[in-house]
A and B are shown apart, each in its own frame.
Chain A
Amino acid sequence: MAIRVAYTGNGACAQAMRQVEPHMVAAYPITPQTEVVEEFAKFVADGKVKTKFLPVESEHSAMSACIGGVAAGGRVMTTTASQGLAYMWEMLYIASGLRLPIVMGVANRALSAPINIHGDHSDTMGARDSGWVQLYCKTVQEVYDTLIQAVRIAEHDEVRLPVMVCYDGFSVSHSLMDLEVLAEEQVKGFVGRFTPRYPLLDIANPVTYGPLALYDFYFEYRRQQVEAMATAERAVREIAEEYASLSGRRYSAVEAYRLDNAEVALVSLGSTASTIEYAVDRLRDEGVAAGALRIRTFRPFPKDAIREALEPLKAVAVMDRSESLSGWGGPVGIEVKAAFYETEARPLLLDVVYGLGGRDVGVDDVREVFGELKKATDAGKMSDPVYYLSLRE
């Protein structure tokens, strides 16, 4: 029986981890993820899980231990944020290159310097090309649901890639929201038992993990990762369907909100979508043909679904909660623009950089962006391709 409770994003993450009950959790606390580590340590202390909790001395060692643990033949999980993710950087590529199904919750937080503890997407956006599947959550409920699905995606036979479950620092990690928790046997039944591939602990069949592959083989390794990531798109969809029949909650790679007959829309990731949807409702009441699209799966990048959803629109603003510092906006905006290169019709595209270092975004801010889109549609062009929202200049 599912139960309804009020929970924070961190609490939901810890609950999902408890119910999955992996063989090992190796983690290092960092704001705003700390509560996950604390809560999980308490589950272990209270004997609620058999999971071995490994309180490592750094995030680099957390990911290294996860790599060792899953290669040994166990199901493993970790969580981190911000500088912790940056410190793991080297190991992120190794986890995916070795094709190890690790699930990691990330409470998104800005990167130093200046040091800042609040939410933005600089941390995980920097890891977007590390070969991890990346799923961005809007609500506390979605953190819980996605963590559980992530186990299946990572361990899918044709995927075998690590998965990052991203949720906004503080606005989701520390916000109390409604959460429906599945019964433990439902979760255990859904994730199933872990099937190791070539485990180190299979002494009779010794394997070599992490050999040196030079110009004669390295390229083929990478190409296989490309195939796995492409397959992940299907796996994410199929597993979401299966989860929907279990929970009644259905998720897809991109989620459209009032896009039918829309002329202008905002594209976003994570919790900002809630604010945008609220603003869309108000604007619709006022007769503006506004809509929204939320990208839930950022890796693999759902280019077809994005094209299909946005192609008929007149103007679209892509909300980027990180800066690529490339001179032309944030990473989401750049990729969405690239997705339209091959299409004949395309909306006007504005990249909006917003909310860095946790700067709040409210309904009026969202209205301001829709206002910019109106100006663009009236003029038939964007005056400036990158717009900085709520910024002192």
Chain B
Amino acid sequence: MLSRTAENLFWLARYVERAEYLARTIDATLRVTALPAAYVGKTNEWDSALLTAGVGAAFYDHYEEANERNVIEYLSFSDENPASIKNCIEAARLNSRSVRTALTSEMWDTINSAWIELQAVWNKGPANREELAKFLRFVQETSLRFDGSAYRTMLRNDAYWFSRLGVHLERADNTARILDVKYHMLLPEEEHVGGPLDYYQWTSILRSVSATTAYHWVYRETLKPWLIADLLILNDTLPRSLASCYSNLVRNLDQIGVAYGRQGASQRHARGIRNRLEHSHMDDIFQHGVHEFIQEFIADNSRLGEIITKQYLI
């Protein structure tokens, strides 16, 4: 297939995934900030929402204060923020238009309908909390429909695999960023744990990767920080964990390699990261520093993006 087509498919999937992640982040932050201060402490949750979205610095070029109104506006509807939900959906549609021939009609319909709804219903942004909740649901449902229609209707060939690469690369980045911002809350030794403050913060982390219920099914335990870290980093059964993302990335890259009859730097690099995740234990990670581990992962993950681009997309 055309390199540009593969590139568009890859980015299309990334934009949709990112839009969903932003919606989840806003949703989780709203829930935490709705609690009385006694439960959540004095940290500015909106600031940390900006950090997990990776737009902390750029935000202050346009706003004075990271409050609910400003941050929601910036993350959801701002034209200034190239990675706002609105811009993600716009970019997703532009990418879809460029690769109409590689999309199934169901996928195109999902993105095009979302874009039409964005123009028609959400053009001015939600008027109140209730509307905002509707909007966030709309974004998450769009992502679910997109994933579902890709899964159910696409031929299992390179077009599908490049699209999946985009999903998992973006997803790994998102999960890693949440961990990076909140890692200090997961550290078992540093401060008193188990108070109500931490409890709601942990719930919030899980919520933003849609893993609250999953946690309980997997561990059958009350929330424990190291188990949360274990779930999000090493547990292959959780679709948004780093380990799961890398199982998928390795598999999709192998499928491409087999189809093209050639392996390359992407396959090697992805396998390297996967192996490291497979052979890690939470104890070691804590000992060497969660922060360092995550930082290194984010850099490695983004390097994989560059290598894939170089090998296939240009």
Bound pair (A, B): no
